């Protein structure tokens, strides 16, 4: 039996999503992080957004799926006055429900220093909150 030493690396960065709903592809930022902290190593990458009104999804991008996701979220969570949470823009309460549907984190396998994503999968920040245009994302790698 061999033993390996586990290590943990973490980093945050900010990005601006603007004052409109957004699905922002984070895949290249994740890849750059792993190239720096985990070259050739196996482990887990956790992507976390420490906000009560945003989430992380693993979806296809560039073929309309990201726009479809935002459109479906608008149907499921309309920006109207039905929400009890009422500060901010009209309908802002829906933004606080979003993380119940799109979790604020994703944990992905890392093999040989690269995310083991499917062919069409990307890591995406989902943000429906038009009141908070700046988001923080935390990337953490745990591996051997």
Rounded (10°) CA dihedral 121, 68, 133, 19: 150
Q: Are 77 and 94 in contact (CB under 8 A)?
A: yes
Instruction: Note the pLDDT of residue 86.
Output: 83
pLDDT digits (tens, 9 = 90+) for 41-62: 999 999 999 999 999 999 999 8
Instruction: Note the pLDDT of residue 90.
Output: 87
CA–CA separation, 2 and 82 (whole Å):
58
Q: Are 1 and 117 in contact (CB under 8 A)?
A: no
Confidence of residue 20 (pLDDT cuts 50, 70, 90): very high
Where residue 73 falls (left for φ over 0; alpha for ψ -120 to 50; beta otherwise) is alpha
What predicted TM-score, i.e. pTM, was given to this entire model? Answer: 0.93
Topology annotation, domain 16-143: Jelly Rolls (2.60.120)
Confidence of residue 2 (pLDDT cuts 50, 70, 90): low
pLDDT digits (tens, 9 = 90+) for 69-101: 999 999 999 999 899 988 888 889 999 999 999
């Amino acid at each position: 039996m061999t033993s390996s030493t586990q290590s943990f690396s973490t980093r945050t960065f900010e990005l601006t999503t603007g004052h409109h709903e957004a699905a922002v592809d984070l895949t290249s930022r994740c890849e750059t992080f792993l190239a720096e902290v985990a070259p050739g190593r196996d482990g887990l990458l956790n992507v976390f957004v420490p906000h009560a009104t945003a989430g992380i999804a693993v979806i296809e991008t560039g073929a309309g799926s990201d726009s479809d996701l935002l459109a479906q979220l608008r149907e499921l969570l309309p920006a109207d006055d039905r929400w009890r949470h009422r500060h901010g823009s009209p309908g802002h309460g829906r933004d606080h429900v979003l993380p119940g549907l799109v979790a604020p984190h994703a944990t992905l396998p890392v093999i040989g220093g690269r995310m083991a994503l499917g062919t069409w999968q990307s890591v995406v920040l989902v943000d429906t909150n038009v009141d908070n245009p700046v988001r923080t994302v935390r990337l953490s790698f745990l591996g051997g």
